[in-house]
Amino acid sequence: MKRVSRGIDRIEVVFDDPNLVASAGLLIPATLMARLGLEALVNEWVRLVGRVGGASPGRKVLTLVATILAGGSHIDHANLLRAGATQAALPFRVMAPSTLGTFLRAFTFGHIRQLDQVIAETIRRAWQLGAGPTDGPLVIDMDSTICEVHGKQKQGAAYGYTRTLGYHPLLATRADTGEVLHARLRKGSSQRGHKRFVEELIARVRRAGATAAVCLRADGGFWSHELIDTLGRLGVGYSITVGINKTIRAAIAAIDTDAWMPIVYPDGGQAAVAETTYTTGRGPKRRSYRLVVRRSRLTEVAQQALWPDWRYHAFVTSSSADTVTADRFHRDHAVVELAIRDLKDGAGLEHCPSGRFFANAAWLACSVLAHNLFRWTATLGGIRHLDELTTARTLRTRLIAVPARLVNHAGARKWRGPLNWPWADPFTRALTNLRALPPAPT
């Protein structure tokens, strides 16, 4: 018979301490919210006049953002912010879940566009405070994802090419930090809108302070002459995957055998790259692109017997770099998947809480704000390492989820965390650095 721990069984559990702070580390991103002037910014731009639940949008958006920062994925999780003395660690009034649900359902397409402007202005302010790109090129990765939903009550949810019921948001992320620069919720079966999306995206980063060269990377789902023309008109470089069609295959077949240059590839395989010119169209519609091709195959004997042929991946690029460098740069587009995964797993987008499409679009905007606040907190707080990927779960574990008690000490409020907290030093450093920031320029 197993022995029962009598000590642990004798612990009495009560929830009666009014001074405890749930997810007390919210003090850090809340400090950044105050420096960015987020509540006033939302109140200025989001006008839900005459809509039920539309009053005081700033505190409602910030309640949703703080809930997501604390790990919430449902509207009811906002109750976490109303426990104990948590409200005292936040620079806004926390709203009830029922109020938040009514607020989200008040959104229309126009109000979502207003919230988009809030995100754009927040990016500009954060970059002005020091989170912006350096003098080097700004690399932007564009991709889409599937936000799976269940049931038939979600407006706009549909089965797309993945045969998954859900929404199909379009996202653009900054390659070096993973912050989301632009996002738009689309119906589950939608493949449209990326041309207008790119125009808005480039205008946004230019207004935010990106004065150097900009390059857009994307996969084959976005390849079109229209997009290339748009990027050319905007003065933006590109590296975009193309599908292997009949014309592309002919161009690849024409590459001389000696032109293929071997590159480093994972164990069990080999690869090489080469380039050629891809010409398409006739007359005034005739176009030529620099086409870089990577071929790969397995070298393990048993596997090679099943797949003996080369597999090809091709992309067009405006880069003037050598073939190997251009291919390496294009392969780095995979970092967008890490940012999207973190947005879904760490910033609340694994769940779309409402049955209304525009309510879920507003939830996406709040997720983007929370996602970016994580990254700006690490950058402006001086705790981001260049060789370390910033993820929401890591920052939440180290900084946000710390327990604390708010007490009065010598006439001043004091935040008391646990002794020997493993990440006390980066916590203190981040808070000190953020408090030293001036109010963001408006």
Distance CA 357, CA 231 (A): 30
pLDDT value at position 386? 65
Q: Is residue 230 part of a domain?
A: no
The answer to whether residue 239 scores a pLDDT higher than 80 is yes
Q: How far is CA 111 from the centre of its chain?
A: 21
More confident residue, 9 or 208: 208
Q: Is residue 81 part of a domain?
A: yes
What confidence tens digit (pLDDT) does each residue in 276-316 have? 999 888 888 888 999 999 999 887 766 666 677 888 999 99
Residue 52 is part of which domain span?
17-136+354-442
Distance CA 66, CA 33 (A): 10
Q: Is residue 383 part of a domain?
A: yes
What integer best gives the mean pLDDT of the chain?
Answer: 91
Distance CA 341, CA 346 (A): 8
Distance CA 112, CA 133 (A): 27
pLDDT value at position 284? 81
Tokens of 297: 């195959």
pLDDT value at position 192? 81
pLDDT (average), residues 353-376: 96
What confidence tens digit (pLDDT) does each residue in 64-89 have? 999 999 999 999 999 999 999 999 88
What confidence tens digit (pLDDT) does each residue in 419-436 have? 999 999 999 999 999 999
Q: Is residue 386 part of a domain?
A: yes
Nearest to 77 by CA among 65, 93, 92: 65
214: enclosing H helix or E strand: strand 214-218
Strands lying side by side in the sheet with 404-409: 20-21, 404-409, 412-416
Q: Residue 411: pLDDT band by 50, 70, 90 thresholds?
A: confident
Q: How far is CA 380 from the centre of its chain?
A: 18
Strands lying side by side in the sheet with 147-148: 147-148, 165-167, 158-159
What confidence tens digit (pLDDT) does each residue in 95-137 have? 999 999 999 999 999 999 999 999 999 999 999 999 999 878 9
Distance CA 403, CA 195 (A): 46
Q: Is residue 237 part of a domain?
A: no
Q: Residue 442: pLDDT band by 50, 70, 90 thresholds?
A: confident
pLDDT value at position 4? 59
**Number of domains observed in the structure of the chain:** 1
User: 10 Å Cβ neighbour count for 214?
Assistant: 21
> Percent of the chain beyond pLDDT 90?
73
Beta bridge partners of 167: 147
- Mean pLDDT lowest among 17-21, 215-219, 432-436: 17-21
The answer to whether residue 1 scores a pLDDT higher than 60 is no
Nearest to 169 by CA among 236, 243, 112: 112
> Do 151 and 133 meet the contact criterion of CB atoms below 8 Å apart?
no
- Mean pLDDT lowest among 152-161, 238-247, 431-440: 152-161
Calculate the alpha carbon distances from 259 to 98, 274, 276, 291, 381 in Å.
65, 6, 10, 13, 48
pLDDT (average), residues 363-371: 97
3-state secondary structure 265-302: CCCCEEEEEEEEEEEECCHHHCEEEEEEEEEEEECCHH
pLDDT value at position 281? 81
- Mean pLDDT lowest among 135-139, 176-180, 270-274, 296-300: 296-300
Length of the chain: 442
In the chain, what is the greatest distance between 2 CA atoms, to the nearest angstrom? 87
More confident residue, 191 or 386: 191
Q: Hey, is 148 helix, strand or coil? A: strand
Q: Is residue 73 part of a domain?
A: yes
Q: Hey, is 441 helix, strand or coil? A: coil
More confident residue, 218 or 11: 218
Beta bridge partners of 404: 21
Q: Is residue 203 part of a domain?
A: no
Q: Is residue 76 part of a domain?
A: yes
Q: What is the pTM of this model?
A: 0.93
Nearest to 221 by CA among 179, 260, 266, 170: 170
